[in-house]
Amino acid sequence: MTSLSDASVSTDRTPSEDPVLRGTNQSGMRAQNERLVLTLVRQHGALAKSDIARMTGLSAQTVSVIMRALEQDGLLERGTPQRGRIGQPSIPMSLAAEGALFFGLKIGRRSADLMLVDFLGRVMRLERQVYRYPTPGAVVDFVASSLPRLIADLPEHLRGRIGGLGVAMPFQLWNWVQSIGAPQSEMDAWQHRDIQAELAALSGLPVFVQNDATAACGAELVFGTGERPKDFLYFYFGTFIGGGLVLNGQLFTGRSGNAAGVGPIPVPGPDGQTRRLLDVASMSALATAMEAAGESSDHLWAQHEEWRVSPAVLDAWLDGAAHGLAHAILSAAALIELEAVLIDGWMPKAIRAALTTRTHDALHALDLAGIDAPAIRQGTVGANARVLGAAAIPLSHRYLIDQNAPNRDTWSRF
């Protein structure tokens, strides 16, 4: 197999030289502080040294050393000096888009996406493949053919800043053969292939694997815009429906990494019979309804900008999905105090908005006695949340901390 290093990706910066992964005790403390500064700037936008000092309790001298080092490493860049205050003008520092690059791979039940993103989460390159069902061999071949194209015209100095490959995929794919109509013998290969090791050997990069819906939720945390609730439940509509859970500003993955796997939650179906949430609130449920009505659903998997669905079929699906979501949210809110619920998916923005509105109405039509109903909001990342979330995994591993808000008792000093 051809690795990225064989494809002329620069290796001029080793992990031990990484600006946030240096060795020795003192520099280890400095690395922690650098992560904290990068996390704050990512959360709040451009910040001056005085802002960082005020938020963390670190001395002005310490903050100056940290931010100077991050600027020299190309991770922060200076903004326009802000005048009008007493003393020297403050200079806001923001994340440098080219400070670090990451690959994200989404392995879906009907398609695979491979994306290169910059430090801000902006898409630089994207390759996509649609298939009937996923097999390990097909996915590895897709990555092997796509990686060279993604870096073909990338400047040499940027190739050395590619920091890792994150993989977002459904866990236990071999258990979904009936739902996706795949041969059991081919899907069983997922039990015996070490996809993480194969992709690491292929790319020459550190590889991280996470459940696809959990990764999508992570994308909301790292790259999302607007207000970030401290505690929220996240739903992502793909072939099936998946979820993620954020508690106290942290992505909660659980013991097996599959926490908030909302698909199997029992909810009332349109006929009053108990169904799994994924049977009423997923794109596969919509596709089944479309095929039953004589409408082709093939275009759903190829793109997300436009759904060509008859109003009757779409309206029935929206109502059923919103009803199912409302019952699932009620069950979750009875166990966990949720500030908000976010809804996103591989769908047009107008349909996501309609689904969010109907879910809010369906929830408030239920008996909410004793329940502090969470706000129902649209996700802010959009259809590519899974692959962006995949890229966010190595980014978070290398450059962010495991807390969402600063607590002065936890800051390291040097």
Contacts of residue 121, Cβ cutoff 8 Å, sequence gap at least 6 = 219, 222, 223, 388, 391, 392
Closest CA to 26 of 67, 65, 83, 72: 65
Neighbours of 317 (CB within 10 A): 24
CB 336 within 8 A of CB 232: no
Closest CA to 49 of 91, 16, 13, 103: 91
* H/E run at residue 299: helix 298-302
Residue position matching structure tokens 């996509």? 128
Residues facing residue 275 across a β-bridge: 267
DSSP letter (8 states) at residue 162: E
Residues facing residue 359 across a β-bridge: none
Report the distance separating Cα 154 and Cα 93, nearest Å. Answer: 26
DSSP string, 22-45: --SHHHHHHHHHHHHHHHHHHHH-
Residue 145: the pLDDT is 97
Torsion sign across C-alpha atoms 191, 195, 198, 200: negative
Residue 22: the pLDDT is 42
Residue 302: the pLDDT is 87
Report the distance separating Cα 278 and Cα 292, nearest Å. Answer: 18
**Chain length of the chain:** 414
Report the distance separating Cα 118 and Cα 391, nearest Å. Answer: 9
DSSP letter (8 states) at residue 342: E
What spatial distance separates the first Cα and last Cα of the chain, rounded to whole Å?
45
CB 217 within 8 A of CB 236: yes
Contacts of residue 120, Cβ cutoff 8 Å, sequence gap at least 6 = 95, 97, 223
Residue 14: the pLDDT is 40
Positions in the chain short of pLDDT 70 = 1-30, 83-89, 176-180, 402-414
Contacts of residue 395, Cβ cutoff 8 Å, sequence gap at least 6 = 100, 102, 119, 163, 164, 166, 222
> Helices 60-72 and 25-44 meet at what angle, rounded to 10?
80
Contacts of residue 368, Cβ cutoff 8 Å, sequence gap at least 6 = 330
DSSP letter (8 states) at residue 90: B
CB 274 within 8 A of CB 316: no
Closest CA to 89 of 81, 97, 80: 81
Neighbours of 265 (CB within 10 A): 21
Closest CA to 370 of 322, 335, 323, 341: 335
CB 97 within 8 A of CB 119: yes
